[in-house]
Structure 1
Amino acid sequence: MPRVKIVHFADLHLDAGFAWAGAEGTAARRRRQSLRDSLKRIARLAADIQADALFCGGDLYEHERATPDTARFLQAAFADLGPCPIYIAPGNHDWYSPDSLYALVDWSPNVHVFREPRLEPVDLGNDLTLWGAAHCAPANTGNFFEGFLVEGPGVHVALCHAAERTELAEQGSEKLPHAAFDAHDIERAGLQHAFLGHYHRPRDAARHTYPGNPDPLAFGEEGERGSVVATIGADGSVTRERRLVAATAAHDLLLDITGCTSQQAVRDRLGRVADGRRGVARLTVEGELHPEVDLREEDLRQVLLQSFDAVQIRFS
């Protein structure tokens, strides 16, 4: 079996609400456009490296917010990548159902959407089999690997949207254990590797990969995220390289106003904190301000909006 090169991504969340940026306002619309731009970058990456396939580990879009325009965008973006095959394993936010985009869109021949809540095989050639599964509801999906065992010779890899139990705590209090599994389930099933979605914090484990969400959805997301270029060897070994594809950077800024005796002093200090950065920003203001300084949140916001597309401000 020759080496097979794939690009893997997950958790793009097209049509996300971005409530912190005003939901239906200009800033939130810019953020949603940035997600589309990131998908175009992912497709361009797959084309540039002549990938054998593009994998999507689910939560490609938000089911409850998806629009006909998003459907047309996805159809065109994936068709343009042809003949490179694209494999999609729907997640808990873009679950497969008769009214999902996955069922309604007339996809180009290079797109394969997994439609069952159990692992099913696709022969990728070169003695490589891909096993994929779908969430078919927004909750209560079980362990895809439980009771599963691969069939046939060669190398076997999986693509699905699932939560590895030991890593759940690291992902934040809001992350739920959809399709929860244990890391050793992968090897026990006879799989050499699992390409996954669900966790927004990237993770490269011995037998599984979480790429992380490729474009920032919220502040405080840590880790080198993006798309993963993975090379699968004849022995089932996987080498990985992360590629930045985000159209926007998210910055956490800290402004200490201690010692500032005028509005101008605060503005000057804020300018140094934000200097040279672009994208979106969350500013945390801390420290003791001189009692005669009239500092207003909106003043800080207007300074930041000279550099950033969207701003969130909080006082510690």
Structure 2
Amino acid sequence: MRLLLFSDLHLDTSFRWAGPELARARRLALRGTLERIRDLAEAEDVDAVLCGGDLYEHDRFAADTGAFLRSVFGQLHPRPVFLAPGNHDWYGPRSLYRQVDWPDNVHVFSEARPAPIELAAGLTLWGAAHRAPANTDGFLDGFRVDRGGVNLALFHGSEQSELPYQGAGKAPHAPFRAAQIREAGLDHALLGHFHQPKDAETHTYPGNPDPLEFGETGERGAVVVTVRSDGAVERVRHRVARTEVHDVTVALGGVVHTGQVRDRVREAVADLGGMVRVTLAGEVAPEIDVRPEGLEAVAGHLDALVVRLGDVRAGYDLDALAEESTVRGQFVRSVRAAADLDEDERRRILITGLRAFDGRAEELEVR
């Protein structure tokens, strides 16, 4: 059997980092991505489409999101679609899942314990739903399948060994250990929640199919999962988003005037498309203004350019300043002589103070 798995589309997300016009364009792009997932299901002639949760944003879904989802999934009829609500699209009294008159090929899992659906003779899909936005217990805690054949799970959850891999800030919603999959009698778990794609021996995270923020890496998209008669799976990833997202670091070492900062940003993004985040880094002379405001204008060919300060440091000649018979010179000498400061604190105090002497303390974040 061939299944198409996706998760974490996050329709109607706010895109807080973007301005109103770009945020609206990004939300429309997410809808286009779901339409391409539908087209991929038809082109690959899969037996069913599965969503591992966070299909939309419960707190902010648009007035026509339900109609849009009904239309897209209805166009797959009679091919079945299985939806396992996550923590952002949790199944509750006011859930969009309850409001839509779904076509009969769409099944929404609604229980906080895995419930079975027979996909074919000897092949069972066990799906579960988040019933609240937080504090959902592990779906596999105390669970075991009650039948033979091949058993798959579909849910939105946090594999515990993956939390450090995923990075800080990802809460352990519906936590589980990879070993619990086999302990429960399951052959494989098809999952949502982690936006970083991951193909493990016993489980699959497709990752969010369309970038939601800068810094996302990995071959994200929708996954065609071929399930063999012995429960083994083969996975092929397909890109379904048209969005390009790039992260670029622009080194400022050697610039001698403010205009060169603009030139280096322009050169760094000249051959890129879509959305680009530029991080400025390096040591610059204290008289150079490297504030990111206004630099976005150098790349009109992009959908968006976001410029931020990284490790940018003002390069003062401290030895020369310490020789001055001035208040500034005395400040440098005093800070350098302070025995109760470590080197990082000493540097921060020196740079902050010297900028204040120059009347330019607001231009660079002290790092």
Superposition TM-score, scaled by structure 2 size: 0.81
Matched, 1:202 2:197: yes
Q: How does 1:153-168 map to 2 (within 5 A)?
A: 153-168=148-163
**CA distance in 2: counterparts of 1:77 and 1:109, whole angstroms:** 13
Matched, 1:8 2:5: yes
**CA distance in 1: counterparts of 2:130 and 2:6, whole angstroms:** 17
Partner residue of 1:144? 139
SS at the partner of 1:283?
Answer: strand
Matched, 1:93 2:88: yes
Structure 2 unaligned residues grouped into runs of 5+: 311-367
Partner residue of 2:15? 18
Matched, 1:186 2:181: yes
**CA distance in 2: counterparts of 1:313 and 1:264, whole angstroms:** 15
**CA distance in 1: counterparts of 2:245 and 2:100, whole angstroms:** 32
- State the Cα RMSD in Å: 1.4
**CA distance in 1: counterparts of 2:291 and 2:157, whole angstroms:** 44
Per-residue displacement from partner, 1:127-158 (whole Å, max 9, x unpaired)? 21100000010011111111111122211100
Q: How does 1:1-316 map to 2 (within 5 A)?
A: 4-22=1-19, 25-290=20-285, 293-304=288-299, 306-316=300-310
Residue 98 of structure 1 contacts residue 104 of structure 1 at CA under 8 Å; is this kept in 2? no
Residue 35 of structure 1 contacts residue 247 of structure 1 at CA under 8 Å; is this kept in 2? no
Paired residues, number = 310
Residue 149 of structure 1 contacts residue 190 of structure 1 at CA under 8 Å; is this kept in 2? yes
Per-residue displacement from partner, 1:27-75 (whole Å, max 9, x unpaired)? 1111111111111111111110001000100000110001221111111
Structure 1 unaligned residues grouped into runs of 5+: none
State the shift of 1:231 in Å.
0.2
Aligned CA distance change for structure 1 residues 266 and 131 (closer, same or farther; 3 Å): same
Residue 265 of structure 2 contacts residue 278 of structure 2 at CA under 8 Å; is this kept in 1? no
SS at the partner of 1:222?
Answer: coil
SS at the partner of 1:21?
Answer: coil
Partner residue of 2:353? none
Whichever of the two has the greater Rg, that structure is 2
Aligned residue identity for 1:16: T
Q: Percent identity?
A: 52
SS at the partner of 2:176?
Answer: coil
Q: Identify which of structures 1 and 2 has the higher relative contact order when contacts are C-alpha pairs closer than 8 Å and 6+ apart.
A: 1
Moved more, 259-268 or 159-168: 259-268
SS at the partner of 2:162?
Answer: helix
**CA distance in 1: counterparts of 2:125 and 2:291, whole angstroms:** 56
Moved more, 234-243 or 266-275: 266-275
**CA distance in 1: counterparts of 2:291 and 2:279, whole angstroms:** 14
**CA distance in 2: counterparts of 1:218 and 1:51, whole angstroms:** 30
State the shift of 1:288 in Å.
3.2
